[in-house]
Amino acid sequence: MSGTVLVSVIIKALNEERHIRACIESALAALANLPGEVILADSGSIDATVAIASEYPIRIIQLSNPTLRRCGIGPQLGYQAARGDYIYVLDGDMELDPLVLERGLLALCADPDLAGVAGLVEEMSAENLQFRGRKERGAEARPGLCRWLDMGGLYRREAIDGVGYLSNRNFHSCEEQELGLRLSANGWRMRRLSWPGVRHYGHTEPTFALQRKRMRSGYLCGPGEMLRASLGKPWFGEVIRVHRHLLVTLALWLVLVAGILVFPFTAVPLLGWGIALAIMFVNRALRYRSLGDAAAVLLLWHVDSLWMLRGFLRRAVDPLKPIPARTLSSGADSRPLRASGERS
C-alpha cells in the first residue's frame, strides 16, 4: 500500500455547486470503512463549488490556468496528487453508491486480470436528446466485460501506471474511452458489476442549448482529438468503429464539396448528397420511431463531425507533462462532518 491510503476518490468538477455537496458526502460515505482520501480536482469553478467543498475534510486541487480546462485534464490533475493503490474517478454531478468501493475492491482482488470495475449507472436526466438517447441505450446499465468504463470507475494504480497516465489532458471528451483502449492493448480487462454504482444527474438544458454549450466548451472536439492520438496505435481501428457515424457524416461533406468543384453547374452533387441524407434519415427514424428525433440527430451529427475535424487538427501537448495546479485545501483544516452529514 501507498502509506495508509488504499483508495483515492478523485472528483472532477467545474461549477457544480448544485450537486457537489451530495457528491462529496457520497464519496466520504463510501470510504467510511476503508483507508482512503477524497480529492476534488477543480478546473477553475467560478460558482460556490470550492467554497462548499472546503467545508469537508478533503483535499482540493485547482487548475492553475483555467484556459487549459477540458474533460481529460480533471482526472489527471487529481491523479497527480492521489496516493491510493486504487483510484476511483467520479464526476461532480454524481452520487456514489455507499457499497460500490468495497464491492469493487473484492472484484479486483478476485480477478487479477481486471484493470478496473464500475457499478451500474442510473441516469437521472432525460430532458434532452443526448441524455435521453444515452439512457435508452443503457450501455452503462448492463453488467459484463466492456472495452472501457464510461461514467467513472475503480482502477488499479498498477494498471494506470503501466499505460502512462490516467486521462489524456488534451481531450475535451472521450478520455474514458481512450483509457480503456490503452488498458486493453496492454492486456487488461474491465468489467461492469451487477451492483448499483452511481447516480448521474447530467445536463438538463434543451437539446440544442446543450449542443451550443458543448460547441463553446470544445467538448465536441473530443472524437477528433482521440482519433489523432490513436494514429499508429493498435486501437486505431476501434476508434474508427466507435466514431464511424461522424466519419461517414464528414465524408458526406467532403463528397459534396468535391462534387461541386467537379460538377459546378449541375445538380448532381446536391442530388447525391440528398439521397445519402434521406437514407440516413430513414434509418434513424426507424430506430428512434420519431421523425423529429431523426432530424435532430442528423443535424447534431453534422455539427459534431465538423467539430471532430477541428479536434483532429488541434495541437496536443505530451499527455505525461505535469499539469500546473495549486492546492486550496489539504483536508486537515476543513471542518469535519457530524453524523449523517450534518455540518457544524
Q: How many domains does the chain have?
A: 2
Give domain status of residue 2, yes or no. Answer: no
Do 254 and 278 share a structural domain?
A: yes
pLDDT digits (tens, 9 = 90+) for 157-194: 999 999 999 999 999 999 999 999 999 999 999 999 99
Do 323 and 279 share a structural domain?
A: no
Give domain status of residue 13, yes or no. Answer: yes
Strand 86-91 and strand 114-123: the pairing is: unpaired
Pairwise CA distance, residues 11 & 75, whole Å = 8
Distance of CA 214 to the CA centre of its chain: 13
Split at pLDDT 50, 70, 90, the class of 344 is very low
**SS3 sequence, 34-60?**
CCEEEEEEECCCCCCHHHHHCCCCCEE
Buried b (16+ CB within 10 A) or exposed e, 11-32: bbbbebbbbbbbbbbbbbbbbe
Q: Name the more confident of 145 and 280.
A: 145
Residue 337 clears pLDDT 80, i.e. is over it: no
pLDDT of residue 137: 82
Q: What percent of the chain has pLDDT over 90?
A: 76
Give domain status of residue 287, yes or no. Answer: yes
Do 176 and 128 share a structural domain?
A: yes
Give domain status of residue 198, yes or no. Answer: yes
Pairwise CA distance, residues 139 & 205, whole Å = 22
Q: pTM score > 0.85 for this model?
A: yes
pLDDT of residue 253: 86
Average confidence (pLDDT) over 99-118: 98
Q: What rounded mean pLDDT belongs to the chain?
A: 91
Do 321 and 188 share a structural domain?
A: yes
Do 325 and 278 share a structural domain?
A: no
Task: Give the CATH number, domain containing residue 188.
Answer: 3.90.550.10
pLDDT of residue 273: 78
Do 128 and 40 share a structural domain?
A: yes
Do 147 and 15 share a structural domain?
A: yes
Range of the domain at 292: 236-313
- DSSP label at residue 23: H
**Range of weakest confidence among 116-120, 161-165, 332-336:** 332-336
Pairwise CA distance, residues 224 & 246, whole Å = 10
Do 321 and 301 share a structural domain?
A: no
Do 245 and 161 share a structural domain?
A: no
pLDDT of residue 338: 32
Give domain status of residue 342, yes or no. Answer: no
Residue the block writes with cell 471542518 = 335
Do 295 and 198 share a structural domain?
A: no
Residue 290 clears pLDDT 60, i.e. is over it: yes
Do 290 and 166 share a structural domain?
A: no
Give domain status of residue 229, yes or no. Answer: no
pLDDT of residue 126: 80
Residue 59 clears pLDDT 50, i.e. is over it: yes
Do 190 and 279 share a structural domain?
A: no
Residue the block writes with cell 489523432 = 228
pLDDT of residue 301: 94
Give domain status of residue 174, yes or no. Answer: yes
Give domain status of residue 220, yes or no. Answer: no
Average confidence (pLDDT) over 302-313: 96
pLDDT of residue 36: 97
Residue 342 clears pLDDT 80, i.e. is over it: no
DSSP letter string over 263-319? STTSSHHHHHHHHHHHHHHHHHHHHHT-HHHHHHHHHHHHHHHHHHHHHHHS----T
Average confidence (pLDDT) over 216-227: 97
